[in-house]
Structure 1
Amino acid sequence: MARLVAALAGLFLVFGGLATAQEPVFQTSASHAVIMDYETGEILFSKNGDQPMPPSSMSKLMTALMVFEALEAGTLSLDDELPVSVRAWREGGAASGGSTMFLDVNSRARVDDLLRGIIVQSGNDACIVVAEALGGSEEAFADMMTRRARELGLETASFRNSTGLTAEGHEVSAEDLARLAAHIIRNHPQFYDLYSETSFSYNGITQANRNPLLGVVDGADGLKTGYTSEAGYGLTASAERNGERRIIVFNGTQSMRERANEAERLMRAAFADFIMADLAAPGEELGSADVHMGTARTVALRTTGPVRVAMHRRERDRMRAEIVYDGPLIAPVSEGDQVARLVVSMPDGRTREYPLEAGSDVRRQGMVSRAMSALVNLVSG
């Protein structure tokens, strides 16, 4: 059996240029960046998107998710009042120099307020309060965060605290942050509106939501900024337009202004420049494969599902598609057997594979016919 490439029946009418590695058609100044299509989960653009990075306060997406799940499980209620420990006040308060909700030491705060403190104000003190309430300690809660993230398939996620403050081994990839954002949007819509609140007041102090897209880009409705001196300025954000939703994640910009500019550019590009191209419908015949010792010499190959490819609009005519299979196939072949795959190669070197199935049955030849086929093959070499 050899690896064979079959001719495509019709897809070259749609695309078919050579897909040699080239300079990306879209670039960003961020060190890590991802654009995701929410509906399909497809990555439309990635720059180091699969590489773990320090997520700073974007970690609080996971912290908030743990609270959402506790509320839905009934182990917490929005009216519960949680104690503010000395540690939460000291390490998360104004004296620490980080983002804070300005909780008073030894006071109690409602979960409803703490959620807004985490989401709108990025309060480190609010994070530690809920961590101690749910996990017994922040360290135990961070372990809970990591376990839950892995259960959700976020394989790069490792949390060392609830806040995102710099800690060795505290990391997650931009792609996994995008998946986490999609999970929150899809599974916790009753809480997602919190991410679009533009300000929140607590203890007589009003703080604005730091998300630079809210009120600036149409349809923007979340999620979370981040900053540490190690990570730079980052953002996980989402917007919805005309029934389509995109999620962007980036990190490593050098200032709040650069973060705001890059956020707007990435989100506008997410809708204007990147598409999910439908290349073939489910059950569409794309080519054929050779069959050995069968009652037919070839069998049609068809898709098992939709062939959708994430791309920049300018990449469509520069990709390559080919049908690959180990062949010739040996009869008998049954209709529906997955016998080949469609390999789509993008100009930047990315590839996607889609299974192809036999479009019909091909019976095995009788003994005499098989003997004649063997003789013909021997003579022809």
Structure 2
Amino acid sequence: MSKFFRQPFSGNNGGRYAVAGGADLLSGQALQVTAHKVVCRTGDFVSQGYSLAPRAVPRRFASPVCSVLPARACLPIRILERRMNITTFAKRLCLLVPLIITPTVWAAEQMTPAAPQLAAKAYVLMDATSGNVLVENNGDQRLAPASLTKLMTAYIATLEIRRGQIGENDPVTISENAWRTGGSRMFIKVGSQVTVSDLLHGIIIQSGNDASVAISEHIAGSEDAFADMMNKTAADLGMTNSHFMNPTGLPNPEHYSSAHDMAILARAIIHEDPAHYAIYSQKEFFWNGIKQPNRNLLLWRDKTVDGLKTGHTDEAGYCMVSSAVRDGMRLIAVVFGTNSEQARAAETQKLLTYGFRFFETQNFYQKGTELAQATVWKGTERQVKAGLAEDLSMTMPKGDMKKLSASMTMNPQLVAPIAKGDVIGKVEVKKDDQVIHTANLIALDGVEEGGIFRRVWDSIRLFFYGLFN
């Protein structure tokens, strides 16, 4: 059996009694812990099927672990550690599962059909918020990415802008090497000066190989040096099946990526730099007397699509990375190796349609939100606020949110000094007893070491704590 926390509970019962498992902080209605589960009564309905009744117990066993949800449901929470205050955490974590139920009847579960089989070498559908992969086929296979490579080229350029290493209006002198580059072009002239901003538009919208070489030379001095930057950046992002030899995507046996890696890159582009991401939605760009359209056909066909990039070589086939947002849910679809421009758009659309139809995203908490207060030993403060190191969200088949449960584990012997940002615990979200997501809990504030009396006294307390726990 899990251990109760031995801390007083001040719920909405006026302090008259303590309730095993805690109470509804809004109404004072009792909750009960049974076999590691917290059950919640809503009218005549008892979630998980456990019996439920207010029950007075000795205060030393009180353990507030749950509060009632606006949607009249409660996420089962397992208690894993003791000697910490988790009232705030439990009150908010119960919001993880907004089950759609009446007081007495569960909503009918929605059937989720198998994902569509695409006419492509590889494909991935990713939830942009959480990074969860919803659908994949050969997602980690190393393939020629063609001009999808330019997503990395543009990403590094915007990263250098944000770091202050280059400026949007910096003039870039076009070398003969850049001018002579074959394939799709922006049609920049040798010896002319083009701003970084215009080159970015030429890379993203017109898929200009000449623009890609020009900006790589401006940033790193040469294509080879820029390729080193590309590979380091890929490693930093966790793109484990990518290796770049040039900024254009022109064929090279050692130049490859994967559908999953491209989804990771697209997610970074979307989240890290919304201002520059807007360029990916532009349908055309005019330069040197030539107006060229964006090759992403979905920008014309689906108003919810707002990026990202296409690619094509004989080896790679027709590839596409696209993103769309509907009702606050953003998906990223990556398709490698289709047989035509029309096919890559159609196959990508199938993935997006499937994802929006049968999945949902629940955003739970933003990083830095206080979820708990943990006990601190030998410090100037007795407690430290705990919150998430990263935003917590989940994307699952519609109707599956009610199958989630959560557990929180914290270090029961947190000894000062504690620095802001130190990892002090974790939250595990489970579905059918399988861990599907883990998030770190960090200290939201620092706690300095206490005085000599506090340190000696807490050392004695910790000694006896260790004997009995």
Taking the TM superposition and a 5 Å limit, the aligned residue runs for 1:1-381 are: 24-90=114-180, 92=181, 96=182, 98-276=183-361, 310-312=395-397, 344=431, 352=436
Identity of aligned residues (%): 38
User: Which residue of the partner structure matches residue 20 of structure 1?
Assistant: none
- Unaligned 5+ segments in structure 1 are 1-5, 15-22, 279-303, 324-332, 356-362, 367-381
Change (3 A) 1:77 1:344: same
Paired residue type of 1:120: I
- The offset of 1:70, in angstroms, is 1.7
Conservation of the 8 A alpha-carbon contact between 2:129 and 2:393: no
- The offset of 1:312, in angstroms, is 4.6
- The offset of 1:55, in angstroms, is 1.3
- The offset of 1:35, in angstroms, is 1.0
Return the alpha-carbon distance in structure 2 between the equivalents of residues 307 and 110 of structure 1.
39
- The offset of 1:121, in angstroms, is 0.0
Paired residue type of 1:110: T
Conservation of the 8 A alpha-carbon contact between 1:218 and 1:241: no
Return the alpha-carbon distance in structure 2 between the equivalents of residues 74 and 256 of structure 1.
38
Paired residue type of 1:26: P
Change (3 A) 1:7 1:200: same
**Higher RCO, 1 vs 2 (CA within 8 Å, ≥6 residues apart):** 1
Deviations 1:261-287 (A, max 9, x none): 112222222211233479xxxxxxxxx
SS in 2 for 1:252: strand
CA RMSD of aligned residues (A): 4.2
Paired residue type of 1:54: A
Equivalent residue pairs, number: 316
Conservation of the 8 A alpha-carbon contact between 1:120 and 1:210: yes
Return the alpha-carbon distance in structure 2 between the equivalents of residues 53 and 261 of structure 1.
21
Conservation of the 8 A alpha-carbon contact between 1:274 and 1:310: yes
Change (3 A) 1:340 1:105: closer
Change (3 A) 1:338 1:86: closer
Return the alpha-carbon distance in structure 2 between the equivalents of residues 65 and 164 of structure 1.
14
Paired residue type of 2:117: Q
Paired residue type of 2:163: A
- The offset of 1:197, in angstroms, is 0.8
The two structures have a TM-score, normalised by structure 1, of: 0.69
- Unaligned 5+ segments in structure 2 are 1-34, 40-46, 50-98, 100-112, 364-387, 414-423, 440-464
SS in 2 for 1:236: strand
Conservation of the 8 A alpha-carbon contact between 1:45 and 1:311: no
Conservation of the 8 A alpha-carbon contact between 1:210 and 1:225: yes
